[in-house]
Structure 1
Amino acid sequence: MLVPTALICVAVIAAPRWAGGDDLSAAAAAPESPGPRRGPGPARTSPSPAAKPKKTTVKPSATHRPPHIPASGPGTFTVARAGASSGNGNAYRVEVEDGSGVDPDAAAAQVAGILAAPRGWAHAGAHSFHQVADGPAGLVIRIATPGTTDRVCATGNMNTHGEVNCRLSEVVMVNLKRWQQGSPEFHGPLADYRALIVNHEVGHWLGHGHETCPGKGQPAPAMMQQIYGLKGCVSNAWPYDTKGHYLGGPAVP
């Protein structure tokens, strides 16, 4: 969805109420101080002051700092090179907005893995997907800054508020904020939330509508707008469980 994957511990806040859910769909250490400077002549000694406890400031590791999310970008995209894909079926293309900080080929590899996963829409050979770098593609997955996502989605009369994803026909707009930060309502690794984004949006593309929680403690459907809250369900990124059962819920009118 489209909208919005290992985790730093952060304070969990309530998700804001946007006009959409996970989506909208239209169809380093300080430098060492130098030692004391000495002037000419013999060195003098003086009593050492009483030792004082050192104050240590622990800085977060660079690998744990949240990635910078540009508010907007140029609106131009780099197409990922065609790599691994789950089959020769539905042709899709992955594009990443320039200046977003996301590597297109790395993102495409993650998308390919999600589309090929046994718990995804490729379950039991029901669907297959083939990544292309040029030529026709019936599905285009674009990772874009919040500002660009808003502008594109607005052409379909959808207000994504700089926060959520949207889909316009064959184009899925993945909000960079959701791709890089996940959702405060989703309890799981960022990689899983990215899987939820892809599975949710591709589910719409395949004709699935929104669903809601089937019961307390059960997995939230992949087609549920989980960014709005789980309603008693537990976070889940996949359409199917490990035994091949569809993880659905009541349809949302």
Structure 2
Amino acid sequence: MTEDGRTAGFMALPGRTEDRREVFAGALGDVVRVLGLEVAAEPESADGPTWVHRARAALREVWRDGAVLSDEAFDALLRAAVHDPDPSFNRQFVEPALNAFGHRRVQAALLAYLRTGTDPERAGAARAWYWSALSLRMPLVRAEHPAAADDGADVVKEWYAAALREFVHNEHVDVRRCVLPLLPLRKSSYPPELHDLVEEAVAIARSHPDEYIRHRVEHQVGD
């Protein structure tokens, strides 16, 4: 994502170091329950779709046909987005939340996960943040209690400052892998009091034992 909050392409993240599929299945189950969907818990087979795949397919139909989302649905969607192990499929939860509740509310929720969540949740919030500036293209998905529109520009600035601090001070490898691609590494992107942290972040990334982090920082610094 660029400094002004627009999405930009970058190389694929490596797989997570922890298996969180069971946690995600529970979060996805909450989304299915809140939306009142019926996804049959059929016996799994090696050559057939899993329950997760069937649930994802059911959600695609909901977003296509339209839905009115409650506050409970917002919480469930954001939790599923944060715990989704696939950094592409998590868009399925972020985008409808954006359309129904707006950029500010979604980005503020992801920022809260980054600041106070567990390490897997912090990493997941960074993965979900990648989609948080998408244009609103789901006119049939709306909130039960709409709020005034707000672009959330101040939340974006808060995210970058919090993400910079997180990258420097949190040694969890998944957190650093997920935060780094979205992190501006120019001092001009931050207030003066954070300039030393920018230098420290670059130094940490360049000497990090993880190959992805070392490769990624050179790509960003070279841009």
Structure possessing the higher radius of gyration over alpha carbons: 1
Q: Which has the higher contact order (CA 8 A, sep 6+)?
A: 1
TM over 0.5: no
TM-score (norm 1): 0.22
TM-score (norm 2): 0.24
Please state which structure has a larger fraction of its residues in strand.
1
Please state which structure has a larger fraction of its residues in helix.
2
